[in-house]
């Protein structure tokens, strides 16, 4: 059973546009929601993360929006750049320990 569902599978955005990737979960024990960015030939790297006690977290052009009641969270990339082209994974964790559940990934292409 897939613990975290991610959409879309792929996304093409014009330079300067907003990229939006969505994730949903069922397990209410999840308490930590990170996003990872993976470039070709590289491993995933932590991009930004949120706890459910806040509804939004912003770091530069990257924002996580969190809806606890709907059990959904999303990544928004503002002013998308070609250098943002990568695969993005959402994940969820119970908040302690080292167990992470990953989404299936979204391949983002930003067109110049």
Partner 1 sequence: ETGVTQTPRHLVMGMTNKKSLKCEQHLGHNAMYWYKQSAKKPLELMFVYNFKEQTENNSVPSRFSPECPNSSHLFLHLHTLQPEDSALYLCASSQGTPRSGGIDEQYFGPGTRLTVT
Output the smallest distance, CB 37 to partner 1, in A: 11
Give one word for 26, left, alpha or beta, with left for phi > 0 and alpha for psi -120 to 50.
alpha
User: Residues 43-82: x/- map of binding to partner 1 (CB under 8 A)?
Assistant: xxxx--x---------------------------------
Q: Which of 8, 27, 95, 111 binds partner 1 (CB under 8 A)?
A: 95
Output the smallest distance, CB 106 to partner 1, in A: 11
CB atoms within 10 A of CB 99: 10
Phi, psi dihedral angles at 85 (to 5 degrees): -60, 115
DSSP notation for 12-63: EEETTS-EEEEEEE--TT--BEEEEEE-TTS--EEEEEE-TTSSEEEETTEE
Q: Which of 20, 22, 24, 32 binds partner 1 (CB under 8 A)?
A: 32
Q: Which of 41, 60, 83, 112 binds partner 1 (CB under 8 A)?
A: 41
Residues that bind partner 1 (CB under 8 A): 2-4, 9, 32, 34, 36, 41-46, 49, 89, 93, 95-105
């Amino acid at each position: 059973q897939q613990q975290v569902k991610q959409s879309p599978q792929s996304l093409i955005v014009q330079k300067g546009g907003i990229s939006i990737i969505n994730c949903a979960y069922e397990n209410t024990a999840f308490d930590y929601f990170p996003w990872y960015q993976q470039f070709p030939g590289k491993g995933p790297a932590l991009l930004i993360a949120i706890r459910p006690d806040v509804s939004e977290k912003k770091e530069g052009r990257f924002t996580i929006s969190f809806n606890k009641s709907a059990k959904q969270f999303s990544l928004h990339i503002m002013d998308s750049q070609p250098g943002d082209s990568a695969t993005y994974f959402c994940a969820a964790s119970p908040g302690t320990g080292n167990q992470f559940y990953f989404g299936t990934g979204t391949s983002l292409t930003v067109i110049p």
